[in-house]
Amino acid sequence: MANAVIVAAVRTPVGRYGGALKDVRPDDLAALVIRELVERTHVDPGIVDDVIFGNTNQAGEDNRNVARMALLIAGLPETIPGQTVNRLCASGLQAVNTAAINVQAGAGDVYIAGGVESMTRAPFVMAKPATGFPRGKIEMEDSTIGWRFVNPRLAERYERSRREMRLPATFELIYGHAWKAPARPAAVADGVAVIQFHPRRRAM
């Protein structure tokens, strides 16, 4: 069995909700990290077997396989595949684990794996109507956190109302307790990618 090793690691700064990174799309964040990693390691992008990224929301700009979109934005060849995995809070870790397992199994040699999320840019969403031209109240959900479009069978099983099922506490109960990172020293600055901001011009 081949040994899987992490050659290099890069991340963006961590922002707060509505903070300095509010104008940066999640696919652009992921692309920045991929591009920076390739430049720092001097790896030939053509030998990358797969790009695997974890993402929890997948409801807005990070929809439709954000790993694939990010690698294309980063300038990697179109021949490089990408896949996005979702294990909620452990999605990024699952992406790295998947890459390691593939190396150990002999399915490939070089992988780029990580995770991306922007809760600030998570959209409002609503379900498609069952019929055309619906009338009456249209419900809209905030996809920032919690659970949307709850299956009534699960609400009945866990004896909670649909409103209660949307709360983060119930979400964690069903999908597993929220993963909390252990206390650790501050990250080394060398592993942080710099994000350049370009002010947008206001429309006249």
Q: Where are the alpha helices (H) located in 19-83, listed in sequence order?
A: 26-41, 66-73
Query: Does domain 26-122 fall into CATH 3.30.70.2190?
Result: no
Q: Residues 32-58, buried b or exposed e (16+ Cβ, 10 A)?
A: bbbbbbbeeeeeebeebbbbbbbbbbb
14 pLDDT more than 60: yes
- Residue pLDDT, tens place only, 118-167: 999 999 998 888 888 888 888 888 888 777 787 888 778 877 776 666 65
Residues of the chain with CATH 3.40.47.10: 26-122
Percent of the chain with pLDDT over 70: 79
CB 95 within 8 A of CB 115: yes
